[in-house]
Amino acid sequence: MKHLLSLILLSLLAAPAQAAGIPIKALITGSGGQARLSENLFIVSKRTSDATYLELAVAVADQTSGGRISSLSLFALKDRLKPSELDLLATNTNRIATSCFNISAERLDGISAWLKLLDRQGVREAQANFGPMGVVFKRGRTDNGPYTAVSMLRTGEPGAAPWTKYCTN
């Protein structure tokens, strides 16, 4: 009996621990501060490589009952982006792709190149898949002004294999 108990204890200790999710508000921070507008929406002010600021809004579109994010949008609050602003948007899109949607680093150059191509061509709306993650690029205008949005989504269960890296709201 003592031997069986020792084996059970050993197997529990040797079992791989499931990684905890990363809070999205901790992942996307800004040097100019962060403002929470609602439970599912916040804005950060981030400094670009040319020392100007760009406001980015993060909107959680879908999540599990446990708060694990399966879809979110990243908004730049303008429709025409300077190269430094586009780089900042692509960098944060890639950070979300790897940390929240478990996308491999090999796909990140493809995501950045796709975003830059769409911007250069003046595309208003497009979608693509990068492995298991779907991405929608959209430029538009609301009553509050123009925006450029990158929406990311993945089907499956955040936190369960193969989607082991995920973010929480």
Q: 9-68 pLDDT, tens per residue?
A: 444 444 344 568 999 999 999 777 788 899 999 999 999 999 999 999 999 999 998 999
Count other C-beta atoms under 10 Å from residue 94's C-beta.
18
Q: How far apart are CA 66 and CA 44, in angstroms?
A: 24
pLDDT tens readout for residues 96-108: 999 999 999 999 9
Q: How far apart are CA 36 and CA 5, in angstroms?
A: 49
pLDDT, position 15: 39
Average pLDDT on 120-135 reads: 96
pTM above 0.75, yes or no: yes
Nearby residues of 155 by Cβ (< 8 Å), 6 or more positions away: 70, 132
Q: What is the mean pLDDT of the chain?
A: 89
